[in-house]
Amino acid sequence: MAVFRDFNFKLLVIEKLMYWDRTLTPVFSIEERMEARGITDLQSHVFDNDLAFTVLDESRTFFEELEISEELLASVDALVVDGGHQVYYECSPVWDGEDDLFDVHSLDDLALLPNLKRIIGADSSALAVPDKLERLAAQGVATV
């Protein structure tokens, strides 16, 4: 199975496969996980336990351990860099997008996506990689 070096890059891939394409299952829901633990008011729990603006342990563990087959990785032809992704809510339910919690810091994981053709929002500061546009172009990845 593929090993990602940048957790936040992996989250972009998970967003595409799990929440958009619905090909990566089971779909993770932090609300369902917390309800199973008896926590019915997720936002209050997060604020009361000083967990705001962090990735919850339950989410990090699930997504870090999640295996994505080479077949599914090969199906990824586009990624979107956007602060409103569902996967970000599943990781940090009260995150407001005003910090660098989900910034991608490495493009090393591009090698895991042999059919990636474009990244929408690549010019965003959330793709915090020096010379990112030049590096993507050199690998044949269009930016929009």
Q: Would you say residue 1 lies in a domain?
A: no
DSSP three-state, residue 143: strand
pTM over 0.75: yes
Q: Which domain holds residue 105?
A: 7-143
Q: How many domains does the chain contain in total?
A: 1
Q: What are the pLDDT tens digits along the chain (144 aa)?
A: 799 999 999 999 999 999 999 999 999 999 999 999 999 999 999 999 999 989 999 999 999 999 999 999 999 999 999 999 999 999 999 999 889 999 999 999 999 999 999 999 999 999 999 999 999 999 999 998
Q: Would you say residue 95 lies in a domain?
A: yes
Q: Would you say residue 120 lies in a domain?
A: yes
Predicted confidence at residue 66, as pLDDT, reads: 98
Q: How far is the CA of 28 from the CAs of 22, 23, 110, in angstroms?
A: 11, 12, 24
Predicted confidence at residue 144, as pLDDT, reads: 87
Predicted confidence at residue 44, as pLDDT, reads: 97
Q: Would you say residue 2 lies in a domain?
A: no
Q: Would you say residue 109 lies in a domain?
A: yes
